[in-house]
Every structure is written in structure tokens, then in C-alpha cells.
A = this chain, B = another copy of it.
């Protein structure tokens, strides 16, 4: 069976590496000639709206999935007319728009930070008056890794923020004084079977995920599973989906969804019985889903903007290197390490060591 993937970055690379042992083959479509997944898969180098290329992809493969969700709606519709596409394009379209996403959370009674649609400077001023400060002004689309968002701390910040982002579709969100950030990752296959990984606790460094740790058992697990289950049903979802949440006073507030394998689940490669990558493939192919139980205690640390020396990482006991073979650029995720230990104390110590070694080079 041959799987097509829109996007040829590290997520596609790790999907392919998880899929070869299952007897699968891969074709990725990416605008870049040096897409890192092309080292382990066939590459169709083309823009995401190139219908000839999308047709070629659809003709070559049995089904198409995504590692990059900001594909134009017209391309999604075109693809779906030519071959099976999972997750459903409608789910991608909701995830592409923070306002639609927040509206869906509200419809499903999933608590969210306060938010307002911002279409004008007047809207922005009124939203600030209603929500209060600090708040975050975000583009509704195309933001990632903290890009496309500005924190407003005082009313003096409104005008310059509007100068920077005004003219795009925007949303203002209350800035939440959260206790911690967590995510839940689940998979749903075409039969509607579902599995869920344990919550991951996530640490960001200036808007970019830096470290994610599997929370073997957490009081909030059941609540988080309930939320992601209702999203699965609402979207008739197929594949892996991540739901990012803020923990505030023991309650969960939904931040956003990612309709794909997710950075906060990279620890599952060695840290879960079956990884998020294998489970995504199982889900879209409609195979039985795999056991999401953790194996020992696991975490992962991202390498941002620069790679450490391979030998400095692998000499650490029970640390697994994941080098994406991407050109280093400030702020770019170019690798990660998973660490798996027999106790949470050993894990904490190993994560500290990794965080000390792992360089972070930002813009």
C-alpha cells in the first residue's frame, strides 16, 4: 500500500520511518526540493495548489494524509475528488481558522479562554475593553510556533499591534495565567475505534515547544479524553489529532487542535507501546489501533535552530536521537531526543541534562 503525504517535513519523515516496517511505501508532496522526508520517500516537488501535482499524487497512492494542514480549501476539495483523504478536509479547514476552532469548542461545551472576533481597530478596542489585558492578538490562520501573534500588556500596545497585524483576519484571546500546558493525543480509525495517549505536559520556549513529558496518570486524563472524543465525533475524524490545553486551577481550557501527528507526541516513538506515527497510519488505513500505554517514563526535548553533536546526545543512557537532517535555521525545529527511564526521578534528571546540552537558537 502506498500513502501520499502533503508536506515533506519531519512529521512526514517520521510517518514514513514508522510505516516501512508495516510494509507501506510513501510519496510526499512539498514545495521544497530539500524537504527532509524526501530522504526516505518519493518527492513530488510542487506547490500545495498545483492541481497537476495533486492529481499525480492521487494517482500514485492509495490514500492521502497530511503533515501540513494549511492547504488551500480548493486543493483539499480537488484531492478528495481524486482519492481517499484522511483526516477529513473539513477538520483541516476548522483547524486552519482559530475563530472556527474556538466556536467549535464552545458548541461542544469545551471551556476556552475568552475570545473575540476582530475585524477592525474598533473591534480590537472593544474586545480589549471586554476581555481585559493582558491578551493575545492572533491571526486566525497560518500561525505556528508563536508566529502571527502579539501580546498586548497595556492599552499602549493596541495601536502598534494593529499596525502589524491589521488587515488580516484576527482574533483576540484572553491571556491565561495557566499553571501548566498539556496536550492529549488520540487516534480514531475509519471504524470509529479510538485510542488515547496519556496527557503530555509541555514546556515552551518563546512560543516554540521545547520539552514534552508523558504524564503516566493524571487526574485530568478522563476530562481531556472526554473533550477530544467529542471533537472526534463532531468532525467524524480519522487519524491522529492533538488537543492543546491550558491547566488553570485544576480546570482545562482548550487552546487549539492539530489535525495531525504532533510534536508533543514525539516521546511516543520509544515511550509508548505503539507510537503516534504508527497509530496515525493504522487509523487512516483502517487497521486496528495500537496500544497507547507508556513504556517506562518518557519525555522528549526539541533541538531548535542548532543540532548538538550526535555523540553528546547518544552517550546519555537510554536517550534516543531523532535527527531530521534539516538545514539549521534560527527558530527551526531540526531534531529531538526521546529519553525513557525506569523512574520519574531518573527521567527528570535526564531531561535536565538534555535541556542543558540542547542549544536553542531563535530569531
Please give the residue numbers on chain A whose beta carbons come within 8 Å of chain B beta carbons, in ascending order: 13, 17, 20-23, 25, 39-40, 273-274, 282, 287-288, 290-291, 295-296, 307, 310-311, 314-315, 317-318, 320-323, 325, 335, 340
Whether A311 pairs with B291 at a CB distance below 8 angstroms is: no
Which residues of chain B are near A317, meaning CB under 8 Å? 273, 291
Q: How many copies does the complex hold?
A: 2
Complex CA gap A323/B278 in Å reads: 14
Complex CA gap A13/B322 in Å reads: 18
Whether A23 pairs with B287 at a CB distance below 8 angstroms is: no
Question: Which chain B residue lies CB-closest to A25?
Answer: B39
Whether A17 pairs with B21 at a CB distance below 8 angstroms is: yes
Q: List 18 A-B contacts (CB under 8 A).
A: A13-B20, A17-B20, A20-B39, A20-B323, A21-B321, A22-B321, A22-B323, A23-B310, A23-B325, A273-B317, A273-B318, A274-B320, A287-B314, A287-B315, A288-B311, A291-B317, A291-B318, A295-B296
Which residues of chain B are near A318, meaning CB under 8 Å? 273, 291
Whether A290 pairs with B314 at a CB distance below 8 angstroms is: yes
Complex CA gap A310/B285 in Å reads: 11
Question: Which chain B residue lies CB-closest to A322?
Answer: B21
Complex CA gap A321/B18 in Å reads: 10
Shortest beta-carbon contacts, A-B, top 4: A23-B323, A288-B315, A21-B322, A287-B311
Whether B314 pairs with A288 at a CB distance below 8 angstroms is: yes
In this complex, which of A25, A40, A307, A311 has the most chain B Cβ atoms within 10 angstroms of its Cβ? A40
Min C-beta distance of A320 to chain B, whole Å: 7
Whether A21 pairs with B323 at a CB distance below 8 angstroms is: yes
Complex CA gap A318/B40 in Å reads: 26
